[in-house]
Structure 1
Amino acid sequence: MEWSLKTFQELTNDDLYALLKLRVDIFVVEQECPYPELDNYDQWAIHYFLKIADEMAANVRILPAGSKFNEASIGRVAVAEKFRGSGLGKEMMRKAIDYTTTVLDEQQIKIQAQEYLKQFYSDLGFIQISDPYLDDGIPHMDMLFDK
């Protein structure tokens, strides 16, 4: 079990296909939310992911400050259904936060969290900075991590 950290240009075709498939399976199909998953931010992102036995188990993308928001951001947090409840989501977020604050030397990280995951992100040190709002029909809120 080894985590990978790659820029868009470093992703293999197989890695890119697997991470996009997982995101579409979760955010479009499972959540019944038809929206443009391919949003032109992947090219700017650093992709953190875990494959288990050649299967994409979890992935997240890290965007540098100034790309999507003024702050750095972490998004597209995805854990394959069969691996949920194993702690991979929290482990992946801790790794992404650590990378963003140490390697990228960012002081703040902004996320757009689904409302039902508020406690998950709060436990990682994020605080709510907006009222809930609908994004593609799903309640979200902006949250901020401040180192």
Structure 2
Amino acid sequence: MLVAGAADLPVRTAYEVWRLRQDVFVVEQDCPYPDLDGRDLEDGTRHVVLLDDDGAVTGTLRVLDDGDAARIGRVVVAPSGRGRGLAALMMDEAMALCGDREVRLDAQAGLAGFYEAYGFEVAGPAFDEDGILHVPMRRPRGDGSP
């Protein structure tokens, strides 16, 4: 696993991270949206990247600094890696990076239970984002779950 800011990601790894996000979020989930929103390059952003034995990206997420809280987003696992607990490995690392800060995320509604295991709770009404139902979630400050 690699944890780094954008400036410290090897060029090929950065390319694979953004390619995986495009392949899953834009193509597979049929959600044309601007994935490259500028937040990947912010000084406080940390990318958690899972690499296979050959160094290829199999999963990634990013942790953003929203000032009063951390924000986890862009959680994605390659189709070849799904069902093996890889998202949990990345979330464990992300939660360690966040420490005792409040943490926010917008979860696809069907994945809310996954995030609840990390101490997150639904923090507002469900909303449609690019045709997929999401719920805002937050983990209060100091909750060390799971």
Please say whether Structure 1 and Structure 2 have the same fold, judged by a TM-score greater than 0.5: yes
Amino acid at match of 1:135: E
Alignment of 1:18-29 (within 5 A): 18-29=16-27
**CA-CA distance at 1:54 after TM superposition:** 2.1
State whether structure 2 residue 85 is matched by structure 1 residue 84: no
What residue number does 1:8 align with?
6
TM-score (norm. length: structure 2): 0.91
Amino acid at match of 1:115: A
Identity across matched positions, percent: 35
**CA-CA distance at 1:36 after TM superposition:** 0.5
Name the CA distance, whole Å, in 2 between partners of 1:13 and 1:91.
Answer: 23
**CA-CA distance at 1:60 after TM superposition:** 0.7
What residue number does 1:54 align with?
55
Unaligned stretches of 5+ residues in structure 2: none
TM-score (norm. length: structure 1): 0.90
Unaligned stretches of 5+ residues in structure 1: none
The C-alpha deviation readout for 1:86-141, integer Å capped at 9, x for no partner, is 0010111011011111xxxx520000111110111111211000110011221111
Structure 1 stretches of 4+ with a deviation exceeding 4 A read: none
Contact 2:64 2:72 in 1 (8 A): yes
Name the CA distance, whole Å, in 1 between partners of 2:55 and 2:4.
Answer: 16
Name the SS of the counterpart of 1:134 in structure 2.
Answer: strand
Aligned residues: 138
Name the SS of the counterpart of 2:90 in structure 1.
Answer: helix
What residue number does 1:34 align with?
32
**Greater strand share, 1 or 2?**
1
